[in-house]
Structure 1
């Protein structure tokens, strides 16, 4: 790992970054080929250890839908594929699962509509910046691949170029100015070029219920409750994604999550604890989220104040990051849950007021808690289908650069990246190779499912 503490001026750090090319050239970042003993399905099966077995068929079902869905659920596979590849060795707080579906729109506490990374389950400090860049570019290529290899490569290259260009801009700023920078959606959305689509996107991002939840993500109340009667507050079941009682051990998981939410305020600072204490827990239900997270314990807690104003908190199991083996050097963690919320606070421009941690009594599971309000950009598929793949990839690349510059040395990274196109050409080459591999891996998963014996087989 490069020691940046002895480096002073921006020019010196840029020069040091440039010298790193002598050890790991930018062109070498394009190199990857599957090992002879590579078995992506074995890696996926290994990642199922400790998950709730009742939900594993749903996880496999979601991953079988498309190659992109496979990539989303196969962060562990890509981490294994990246292990051992040469890297320049510039550490950042990495997202760890940096695909284009893990960027989202949300409202800051000040009311700004921001675009940012929105998933931190795999986040980890002290990981080379290229790990996130490669996963982002590969996901952009794979999402655009149905529209042709040329468009796929352009999307991948656009994400890396935007990253390089914005990192260079950020390298001229002070650490404090970098920390306060953000990606304002209303300013950036013009990149998409489609005026009608931009208007719909901004309108959708601004649409929130009274409780701060965007409509697409919100759990529903079973009925309009009487504020004075706590027993009337209940989350409506929406099988198979939201429910109170499930097969086998899922009900116990809900009970444990509810108990963990009771202790969670103890992890908060005094100002956050004061805010949370004005709400009372009314109901808790299991919530199945995403693709890669299916099988982990996740629940949503319904809270209300004395006058009936609702608040939804999400509690989710935190497990070791799948990119742990990619850390540039070993280091200790307070807990996996603390790793997640620390990573979110470091990488996001405006983090959740309610971030906290808890431990499951009996199971010892580590949990993190956040407000259930942030939403994924549901218009991703529409943007891609309406020739927005390149512009959207640029937006994600710009956003990732801002997130990395908060923890990494922007001048050092910018010095390595340079002013020319060598970096993005190499990343685009890698992305296309990996996108094609993901198509093959997805086909393996589908074939494996088709060859499995049915329920009545001997």
Structure 2
């Protein structure tokens, strides 16, 4: 059977893992998994030029999105091979589905590239470093996340113009940090794994104590501290007749009263109301108490976010609590099917919004207190799923475009620790540790794969850019 791209479809991968009762048997099971997938086999990738059929996967994704934003999506992806990689999680998932796996499942991030990790504020008002994007989360093979992360480090280092030795060091440090962190988690009690977190202040101290500069991380901290709803309101809203209203900043931000082209979905004010009411119904009572304290609704707008997410429906709501200076800005973001779904099977949850939220709670050390999900049915009978969170809650993204060598390497290390933590929380850390073992066979294989797949990404980027140049793909100027 062929899929919509004309390529041969394959049945979903079955991850039928039965965890043993004791640590010794769990470790032995991990070692035994090497028979089906030798650690060295993870190095395998052969670069294939001219893969037009993979670009068709992007078009397939775009077909269900807001069409007027697709040229902006492709424009953002066209900047460099790294921005292209950020938008091609589906392409890589289709490739990873052909590679060896140990059979040990985890809650995958699904799009674990280095730009999808960063800083955010915990409910205890401490800055932590963790995964910060969960759109593609789904149970799947842990190796896929590792390969996507490590490959992203190689591509990012190339984008920064680093020499071969520095790129090799960054990639090696990334996979080694994952390996070492998983080994530590395999020795820990279950609750200790669950509560473990990467405190940013302590991490900076550790880096600098070991002679590793952390200017990039410190700059991110300064920015993250101010990234809250009040700051978001100051940036994106203005006062009109004593009431805050969203600014007109097209295409990044457009108030709903200035949007057209949504008639087939229904009136936008009704859409927002339906989504918000559904969100309230799914919140725990303590979180609902917080939300309801922001009882004044002021405005809503469509916002454009990210690179790969451009074209998905994203709404922002402006609320206030004590007074108009006590702002709450919520983001309601469309949740599509995970890019992993066609390769590992469908989600257990009724909606993709709940899939994202439940996956985030499993993976992330401490999730946004206002995290929730909602859905609606459009006039033409299509169900649209969404998840909801604060737009900014101390969120700080690492400035990868301007980070130096140590900044990229430190970010790679922290991202690898956070990924290992997500996998240890949701999978069999002892079995994964047993599979990797004390040797460097697995690490060396991943390093080789990262280099080869980075070459593949460059080849696919050439095809993508040719499609833009020929006019086959629309691209904003």
| Length-normalised TM-score, structure 1 | 0.90
- SS of residue matched to 1:299: strand
Indicate whether 1:276 and 2:296 are aligned.
no
> 1:212–1:373: 8 Å Cα contact kept in structure 2?
no
Shifted more, 195-204 versus 236-245: the winner is 195-204
Q: State yes or no: 1:412 paired with 2:412.
A: no
2:9 maps to what in 1?
Answer: none
Quote the Cα distance in structure 2 between the aligned partners of 1:249 and 1:171: 51
Instruction: Please list the CA deviations of residues 309-334 of structure 1 after superposition, one character each: whole Å capped at 9, or x if unmatched.
Output: 1101100111110111332x666332
Report whether the alignment pairs 1:180 with 2:218: no
Q: 1:44 to 1:253 in 2, by over 3 A?
A: farther
Q: Secondary structure at the match of 2:402?
A: helix
CA deviation digits over 1:119-176, x for unaligned, max 9?
Answer: 0000002x01001000001110000013233322322222111111000001111111
Give the 3-state SS of the residue equivalent to 1:388 in structure 2.
helix
Distance 1:454 1:200 in 2: 37
1:157-236 correspondence runs (5 A):
157-189=172-204, 190-191=206-207, 193-209=212-228, 211=229, 219-223=235-239, 226=242, 232-236=243-247
SS at match of 1:311: strand
Mapped partners of 1:372, 1:196: distance in 2: 26
SS of structure 1 residue aligned to 2:383: coil
Q: CA deviation at 1:219?
A: 4.6
Give matches, 1:37-436, under 5 Å: 38=51, 39-125=53-139, 127-145=140-158, 146-189=161-204, 190-191=206-207, 193-209=212-228, 211=229, 219-223=235-239, 226=242, 232-244=243-255, 245-249=258-262, 254-255=268-269, 256-280=271-295, 281-308=297-324, 309-327=326-344, 332-362=348-378, 363-374=382-393, 375-383=395-403, 385-436=404-455
Q: CA deviation at 1:198?
A: 4.5
User: Which residue in 1 is equivalent to 2:29?
Assistant: 16
Note the C-alpha offset of 1:302.
Answer: 0.6
Q: Map Cα deviations across residues 76-135 of structure 1 (whole Å, 9 max, x no partner).
A: 11011111222001110001011001011111000111001000000002x010010000
Unaligned residue ranges in structure 1 (runs of 5+): 227-231
Equivalent-residue separation in structure 2 for 1:118 and 1:381 (angstroms) = 18
Assess if the C-alpha contact under 8 Å between 1:83 and 1:325 holds in 2: no
Bigger drift between 310-319 and 355-364 goes to 355-364
State the 1:254 CA deviation.
Answer: 4.6
Aligned-partner Cα distance in 1 for 2:339–2:346: 14
Higher mean Cα deviation, 155-164 or 346-355? 155-164
How far, CA to CA, are the matches of 1:341 and 1:404 in structure 2? 17
Change (3 A) 1:247 1:66: farther
Change (3 A) 1:119 1:62: same
Distance 1:248 1:124 in 2: 32
Number of residue pairs the alignment of both structures matches: 443
Query: Contact 2:72/2:310 (CA < 8 Å) preserved in 1?
Result: yes
TM-score scaled by structure 2? 0.87
Query: Structure 2: how far apart are the matches of 1:436 and 1:155?
Result: 17
Following superposition, the deviation at residue 221 of structure 1 comes to 1.7
State the Cα distance separating 1:195 from its structure 2 match.
5.0
Cα 1:198–1:343 change in 2 (3 A) is closer
| In structure 1, C-alpha distance between the alignment counterparts of 2:442 and 2:147, rounded to whole Å | 11
Deviation digits for residues 232-288 of structure 1, max 9, x if unmatched?
Answer: 121222222111123533996853235312332011122222221121222111000
What CA distance in whole angstroms lies between the structure 2 residues aligned with 1:376 and 1:448? Answer: 34
Q: Would the alpha carbon gap of residues 61 and 397 (structure 1) be closer, same or farther in structure 2, given more than 3 Å must change? A: same
Structure 1's 417 and 283: CA in aligned 2 closer, same or farther, altered over 3 A?
same
Which runs of no fewer than 5 residues in structure 2 stay unpaired? 1-14
Q: 1:436 Cα shift?
A: 1.2
Q: Which moved more, 1:360-369 or 1:92-101?
A: 360-369
> In the TM superposition, what whole-angstrom CA distance separates every residue of 1:354-387 from its partner, at most 9, and x where no partner exists?
111111242420111111124341423332x344
Q: Is the 8 A contact 1:253 1:297 kept in 2?
A: no
Q: CA deviation at 1:206?
A: 2.3
Q: Secondary structure at the match of 2:447?
A: helix
Alignment match, 2:5: none
Aligned mates of 2:346, 2:61 — CA distance in 1: 21
SS in 1 for 2:370: coil
Q: CA contact under 8 A between 1:155 and 1:393: conserved in structure 2?
A: yes
Of the structure 1 ranges 103-112 and 258-267, higher mean CA displacement relative to structure 2 is found in 258-267
